[in-house]
Amino acid sequence: MNYSGGFTRLINDSKILFFVTKKDGTILYLNPFGQKLLGITSKNILEGINSIQFYANPDDKDDLDSILNSEQSSFDIEIRLLNKDGRLITGHEFGYIQKNDNGEQEIYGFINDISDFIQLNLDTAKLNIEMAEANQKLQDAYNTMAQQEKMATIGELAAGVAHEINNPLGFIKSNSRSLKKYLEMLTDIFQKISNSFSLKEIKNADKVDFILSDVKDVIDENEDGLNRIARITESLKRFARMGDEDVKADFDLNQAILDTLNIAKLQYKYIADIKLELGEIPMVFCNGDSINQVLLNLIVNAANAIEMLESKERGEIKITTSLENNLVTFSVSDSGPGIDPSVANKIFDPFFTTKEVGKGTGLGLSLCYDIIVQKHQGKIWFENLEKSGAKFSFILPGGTNE
Amino acid sequence: MAENIGETIEYDGLFLNTDTGSNNEIKVNVKGRLETANSINFLNYMTQLIDASPTGCDLILEMSELYYVSSTGIGAFTTILVNSKKRNMQLFIKNMQPKVMSVLELLGFTDFFNFI
């Protein structure tokens, strides 16, 4: 059987570049498709045109030379060519090396033009990089806004904190005046003693018993007030700390709830009573700063929800913690109007808010979602309560570090 | 992957060796030829390394002895870059051979990478 006729037709009609070159790159044969692809003619070939001039990267010739100088009789490489019009062609080249009758090396091969396939892949790769960069910028912007949201919340809380500090400061100041007066009275009494009044006479006239018993009460009250101020400033300091969001450590969730209630007191004290049902839970391994932010957002949201009701009756905010299936669960429920079911699927979206313009940024719940779900692989959800109000809950998985 | 740290692994003419080094830096020595046939091995190796590395660290590809990169290899570089960005890692390409660099230039990829 003679197949050469079939192969000749295949080479002449195919969409693959077939070639024969000398070792130095001089083209001896190029099929019609190859001539069209490179933009040359049979005349150019007769004139001894060299294939090296089509290499987009002249260094590729070194690769070919090293193959020709080795023991290899064939090669399979990717090559980039520039045709006469300057178009970049990426080709998959297979070559076979053999010696002619004069003992000179000749290369027989074909190049399949894979430019479109490669270009598509490279375009996709570029798009992926650009998307990754855009995502990174978006994440940076989100982090900045999240921090701004945190600082804005602290700003809103500042008035409440000032109020809470002002109250004990008022009686500490008043007590200081009393103490000063008592000191003046005691000084006067000692003066009288030194002037030889009888002790009984002095005691009756100058209320010594009262002074001595009240001084202790006044000092105790001052100490209590100073402790209240210290507690609230410590709570605020802990909350406002800009720590590393990736660092996790053992965290006392129940204490954090008490801290949060401490600094957010003015947000709820005139509109709602707090009902605490804090269960016996272990320390939670988490990022405390972030979880503080979640607690504050959920508790302030609960207070805001109650405030939205037209009724002037005091509402209730119920906070519970528990351990279920070795997972620490938190929930806060309010007696507000509940969540409109038509917006239920948007509630954790960034920039979604039901608060009046200027009051909410719409980042609070989205931040909670990000912190609980993305950063702690936990779960956060809400449900409308049967009577009225909403309940927000979260679970921190693998919570304990024990 | 972690058990291979420090060992040289060969994938059909491509040699990879990882040094976890210090100062939050991971260095991978990439030697030989990165071709269509071994690009997927290179990508798998790097993906596992990135997943096992701490977020935010520097990833350095030392390429002074990498002599050839096919377009599939460049595709692998771009996927490595995207994966490292997802883990907030900085990718640096060190000592790339001019011959290999010219392939990246030809295909318009030099702007995306940090070369040192």
> Which pLDDT tens digit goes with each residue over A177-220?
888 888 888 888 777 777 766 666 666 666 777 787 788 888 88
- Considering the domain architecture, whether residues A252 and A330 belong to the same structural domain is answered as yes
- Considering the domain architecture, whether residues A261 and A173 belong to the same structural domain is answered as no
- In this complex, is the C-beta atom of A128 within 8 Å of any C-beta atom belonging to chain B? yes
A209 part of a folded domain: yes
Do B78 and A62 count as a contact with CB atoms less than 8 A apart? no
A122 part of a folded domain: no
Domain count, chain A: 3
**At B109, phi and psi to the nearest 5?**
-110, 0
Sign of the torsion angle spanned by Cα atoms A269, A271, A276, A282: negative
All residues at 6 or more sequence positions from A259 whose CB lies less than 8 Å from its CB, including other chains: A234, A235, A238, A239, A292
Do B82 and A129 count as a contact with CB atoms less than 8 A apart? yes
Mutate to test the interface with A, among B53, B77, B78, B88 (most CBs of A within 10 A): B78
- In this complex, is the C-beta atom of A386 within 8 Å of any C-beta atom belonging to chain B? no
- Considering the domain architecture, whether residues A172 and A70 belong to the same structural domain is answered as no
Sign of the torsion angle spanned by Cα atoms B101, B103, B105, B110: negative
- Considering the domain architecture, whether residues A290 and A389 belong to the same structural domain is answered as yes
- Considering the domain architecture, whether residues A177 and A269 belong to the same structural domain is answered as no
- CATH assignment of the domain containing A34: 3.30.450.20
A135 part of a folded domain: no
Which of A242, A273, A293 lies at the terminal end of a domain, its last residue? A242
Residues of A in contact with B101 (CB under 8 A): none
> Above 0.85 for ipTM, yes or no?
no
Domain count, chain B: 1
Residue of A nearest to B98 (CA): A59
Pairing state of beta strands B25-34 and B66-69? parallel
Domain limits for position B89: 2-115
- Considering the domain architecture, whether residues A226 and A278 belong to the same structural domain is answered as no
Distance from CA of A133 to the nearest CA of B (A): 8
pLDDT surpassing 50 at residue A402? no
> Which pLDDT tens digit goes with each residue over A100-133?
899 888 999 999 999 988 888 888 888 888 888 8
CA distance A262 to A317: 14
> Which pLDDT tens digit goes with each residue over A24-60?
899 999 999 999 999 999 898 888 899 999 998 877 7
- Considering the domain architecture, whether residues A296 and A382 belong to the same structural domain is answered as yes
Residues of A in contact with B35 (CB under 8 A): 77-78
- What does the pLDDT profile of chain B (116 residues) look like in tens digits? 545 667 899 999 999 999 887 678 899 999 999 988 899 999 999 999 999 888 889 999 999 999 889 888 988 999 999 999 888 899 999 999 998 898 888 888 888 899 99
Domain limits for position A366: 245-402
- Considering the domain architecture, whether residues A270 and A355 belong to the same structural domain is answered as yes
Q: How many CA atoms lie within 13 A of B18 on its CB side?
A: 20
- CATH assignment of the domain containing B57: 3.30.750.24
Which of A113, A135, A169 lies at the terminal end of a domain, its last residue? A113
DSSP 3-state assignment of A374?
helix
- Considering the domain architecture, whether residues A395 and A277 belong to the same structural domain is answered as yes
- Considering the domain architecture, whether residues A279 and A357 belong to the same structural domain is answered as yes
Which of A223, A242, A261 lies at the terminal end of a domain, its last residue? A242
Neighbours of B28 (CB within 10 A): 19
A302 part of a folded domain: yes
Residues of B in contact with A122 (CB under 8 A): 71, 74-75, 107-109
> Which pLDDT tens digit goes with each residue over A256-297?
999 889 888 888 888 999 999 999 999 999 988 889 889 988
CA distance A394 to A368: 9
